[in-house]
Structure 1
Amino acid sequence: MTKINPVVGTPLGSHPTRVLLLGSGELGKEVAIALSRLGVWVCAADSYDGAPAQQVAQAHEAIDMTDATALADLIARVKPDIIVPEVEAIATDVLKDAQDHGVRVVPSAGIAATCMDREALRTLAAQELGLPTSDYRFAGSLDELKQAAAQVGFPCVVKPRMSSSGHGQSVVRDAGQLEQAWQEAQEGRRGAGDGTVSRVIVERLVDLDYELTMLTVSSVAGIVTCAPIGQRQEDGDYRDSWQPARVDPEILDEARRIARDAVAGLVAHAGTDTPWGVFGVELFVLKDGRVLFNEVSPRPHDTGMVTMASQRLSEFDLHARAMLGLPVKEGHVALSIGKFEGAASHAIVVEGYGEAEFADLDEALATPGTDLRVFAKPRVEGRRRMGVALAVGSDVEEARIKAVQVAQALRIQVV
């Protein structure tokens, strides 16, 4: 693979490595911090001003990243060496054009486009790579959805071809709910209201025991996996995560194999010899012990925020190193907590309309082994994730309790 020797050390100098971050939320903020610590110049772009990563980057922009012309103009102005997509709502054709003209896209323009498209990703995973998945079909109309649901059986899950955080997703118990599921998929998909119709994926609802995230890193040194991350979700969005997830050795071996094979398959289709970065591979573990591939994000994963407490190098540090062409090996992804200890994260979700103010931090962080990240998003508009509590405990259970206690001890007002 290509050897990269980035110029780092003076972000405001004449010749720093320049990174354009597309998406400036809480995950992007930590990526910007990790890059800045390595002497990289960062421009953080998002659809609004004051996004978390914009507050810590050397430069920032507010644009509609789905607008191909606006995105191309931004790239021309910033002249980045590296583009880092941190969200999925991006004009991917522009990324491909930039990559063709010598800009590195992390991990690649092709991978970003594949991972945001459930049809392309599932076809690659199941049909080309032979990864185990739930039974599924695709449908491009309500009539096709009815036929597909009859084939996979009820209950089933209907998802838009492109969406995130559970938007447009619904569980269908019988044929009478399919019309509503089709409508929800159209309204919750990416680009809703553009006058087009989205295809959907229909999946058999599996007998799920639990979900795992396998953070998998592709770098100049090859592919390695972090310790498994357990998680709890509400309405398709992450609420708690913990590491290491306690799983049987056979299940862990299979989870690692699937994660490595999924990332290796994406790397092989990357269209570039530098397909480096962190991938969040989402897996289902069934009650009968089978492990199924679900999806993969070609970037740090929200459940991976626990690594800020559990690993010496968080998922954000690993992402920064990998994209700069630095080797990431087994020792780099190791846990920093004790053999029998555990770490946990708990999302702090705030409801209301206005600015969120955090108080009583002294009480919230009084217990040793606890920490807090306030995302500093400008406003809450209804319901929004505004921070994350972190904790380390004598085991995973204690860590999870401590993380929840941090969140509960905070006094949060929306003003």
Structure 2
Amino acid sequence: MAAHCRRFWESLSADTDNRPAMTTLETPGSTVGVVGGGQLGRMLAEAASPLGVEIVVLDPTPDCPAATVARDQIVADFDDGGGIRQLADRSDVLTFEIELADQTALEQIGEETGTPVHPKPSTLETIHDKLVQKRELADAAIPVPPFRAVEDAEDIRDAIDDYGAPVMLKARTGGYDGRGNVPVESKADADAALESIAGPAMVESFVEFEREVSVIAVKGDGEVATFPLGENVHVDEILRETIVPARSSETATERAYEVARDVLSAMDGRGVYGIELFETPDGEILLNEIAPRPHNSGHWTIEGAQSSQFEQHVRAVLGWPLGSTELRSPTALANLLADVEESRDAQLRNVDRVLETPGANLHWYGKREARPGRKMGHVTVSGRDEGATVEALLETARELERAVTFRS
């Protein structure tokens, strides 16, 4: 089996007879209820359809991105108990594509209606607060950068004394796509940095890394699978590009999978987990963050792997056997961010450049408003021959990303 791709059974005990019994599955007929109807919900619905699985989403935005491909949309807030109950009544299993889902409501309504929730709401409780997340992972012996809670600016200055400058100040809740992450270069910057967070915060040692990598991992019914290791490029803390396979050594790659499997052991419930990691110059692997759902750094799997992260998530939450995560071909991904100075109607131009390029694929997320820096879609470029290198594929993806525009 390739070093960058693992699939194995986790026995409930050493006795193989204790593995989960395979049941007879039927399709069509199953319905998955998804809290959140953004681009992830849209791509979940696209992946579910060939399996005969219907998707119903709950999202407060009328005609949300997932609405055009999902079976139906319930228009309600992510913490609306009545809306979540309606979703549960229509579904065989509940899941979520956004961490704003209310874990208390999911847990209570899941129990009252008998509708299983995956991943478990307790996982959301861990993920919501980055400080709680880091503490629980550290307690599980998972390698993380040095960190501490922050009550005031003096705590940041103390961290600089202990960790050296710069340090990374993070909002404990609500941050995503770089929002809520503030590098603090010196003690003099501590007060302004904390004020910009405007809420509970934590601080981490700044990691000098060789590259940022991620493992898209799947926890099934007694079964675990991992996709090939991806290498990620962030700009201003926002994911811009992913290439697969990562340009990591075999030793660092194997270590990344070890950490990912340990992370899955600490998580509760079936589904896809996006596990972001730092690879240091000496090959050490440190955990950055976890997303208990399909992840932007796994979008390449739609074209680049035998089965996508979205198909795997649908299979996993339903308790179905997982698909193959083997690499089809080296793949590069470039996110399409709105290159506008102020909000405007979303209209992507020059898409013919993508469509006429061999091996290139365009993914449009269905968002109606282009806001500065907002993720609107992505482009993937897959190798069409054995000589394709990830460097060449990435350069093509960058050229295509530069070619398309939201400007008139």
TM-score normalised according to structure 2 size: 0.87
Aligned to 1:335: 327
- 1:286 and 2:280 aligned: yes
Distance, in Å, in 2 between the alignment partners of 1:165 and 1:3 is 40
Distance, in Å, in 1 between the alignment partners of 2:183 and 2:327 is 36
Q: Are the structure 2 counterparts of residues 81 and 395 from structure 1 closer, same or farther at C-alpha, using a change threshold of 3 Å? A: same
Q: Are the structure 2 counterparts of residues 87 and 145 from structure 1 closer, same or farther at C-alpha, using a change threshold of 3 Å? A: same
- 1:73 and 2:94 aligned: no
Cα deviations by residue, 1:359-401 (Å, 9 ceiling, x for unpaired)? 4433322121111111120111333111111101311111112
- 1:347 and 2:335 aligned: yes
Q: Is the 8 A contact 1:213 1:229 kept in 2?
A: yes
- 1:227 and 2:228 aligned: yes
**What stretches of structure 2 of length at least 5 have no aligned partner?**
1-18
Aligned to 1:18: 31
Distance, in Å, in 2 between the alignment partners of 1:301 and 1:290 is 23
Q: Is the 8 A contact 2:245 2:331 kept in 1?
A: yes
Distance, in Å, in 1 between the alignment partners of 2:300 and 2:191 is 39
Distance, in Å, in 1 between the alignment partners of 2:297 and 2:107 is 28
Q: Is the 8 A contact 1:6 1:324 kept in 2?
A: no
Equivalent runs, 1:15-414 vs 2, <5 Å: 16-65=29-78, 67=79, 70=80, 72-78=81-87, 79=89, 80-101=91-112, 102-127=114-139, 129-162=140-173, 163-186=175-198, 198-266=199-267, 270=268, 275-328=269-322, 332-337=324-329, 342-350=330-338, 351=340, 352-393=342-383, 394-413=388-407
Distance, in Å, in 2 between the alignment partners of 1:363 and 1:239 is 19
Which has the higher mean CA deviation after the structures are superposed, 301-310 or 217-226? 217-226
Q: Is the 8 A contact 2:337 2:375 kept in 1?
A: yes
Q: Is the 8 A contact 1:221 1:328 kept in 2?
A: no
TM-score normalised according to structure 1 size: 0.86
Quote the sequence identity (%): 26
Cα deviations by residue, 1:168-216 (Å, 9 ceiling, x for unpaired)? 2111111111111111222xxxxxxxxxxx4322111121111001111
Aligned to 1:13: none
Cα deviations by residue, 1:283-333 (Å, 9 ceiling, x for unpaired)? 10111221111111111110111112210201111111111111226xx11
Provide the secondary structure at the position in 1 that maps to 2:256: helix
Aligned length: 380
Aligned to 2:8: none
Q: What RMSD, in angstroms, separates the aligned Cα atoms of the two structures?
A: 2.0
Distance, in Å, in 2 between the alignment partners of 1:64 and 1:334 is 37
CA deviation after TM superposition for structure 1 residue 81, in Å: 2.4
Q: Is the 8 A contact 2:156 2:187 kept in 1?
A: no
Q: Is the 8 A contact 1:374 1:388 kept in 2?
A: yes
Cα deviations by residue, 1:227-250 (Å, 9 ceiling, x for unpaired)? 100111112111110111121111
Which has the higher mean CA deviation after the structures are superposed, 370-379 or 42-51? 42-51
**What stretches of structure 1 of length at least 5 have no aligned partner?**
11-15, 187-197
Distance, in Å, in 2 between the alignment partners of 1:171 and 1:255 is 25
Q: Are the structure 2 counterparts of residues 4 and 35 from structure 1 closer, same or farther at C-alpha, using a change threshold of 3 Å? A: farther
Q: Is the 8 A contact 2:219 2:272 kept in 1?
A: yes
Provide the secondary structure at the position in 2 that maps to 1:241: strand
* Code of the aligned partner of 2:326: A
Distance, in Å, in 1 between the alignment partners of 2:222 and 2:296 is 25
CA deviation after TM superposition for structure 1 residue 8, in Å: 5.5
Q: Is the 8 A contact 2:169 2:201 kept in 1?
A: yes
Distance, in Å, in 1 between the alignment partners of 2:221 and 2:85 is 28
Provide the secondary structure at the position in 1 that maps to 2:213: strand
Q: Is the 8 A contact 2:77 2:83 kept in 1?
A: no
Provide the secondary structure at the position in 1 that maps to 2:373: strand
Distance, in Å, in 2 between the alignment partners of 1:41 and 1:222 is 23
CA deviation after TM superposition for structure 1 residue 153, in Å: 3.1
CA deviation after TM superposition for structure 1 residue 7, in Å: 7.2
CA deviation after TM superposition for structure 1 residue 148, in Å: 4.0
Q: Is the 8 A contact 1:213 1:280 kept in 2?
A: yes
Q: Is the 8 A contact 2:84 2:105 kept in 1?
A: no
Provide the secondary structure at the position in 2 that maps to 1:154: coil
Cα deviations by residue, 1:114-135 (Å, 9 ceiling, x for unpaired)? 12221221111112x1111111
* Code of the aligned partner of 1:244: P
* Code of the aligned partner of 1:401: E
* Code of the aligned partner of 1:19: V
CA deviation after TM superposition for structure 1 residue 82, in Å: 1.6
Q: Are the structure 2 counterparts of residues 166 and 106 from structure 1 closer, same or farther at C-alpha, using a change threshold of 3 Å? A: same
* Code of the aligned partner of 1:259: A
Provide the secondary structure at the position in 1 that maps to 2:361: strand
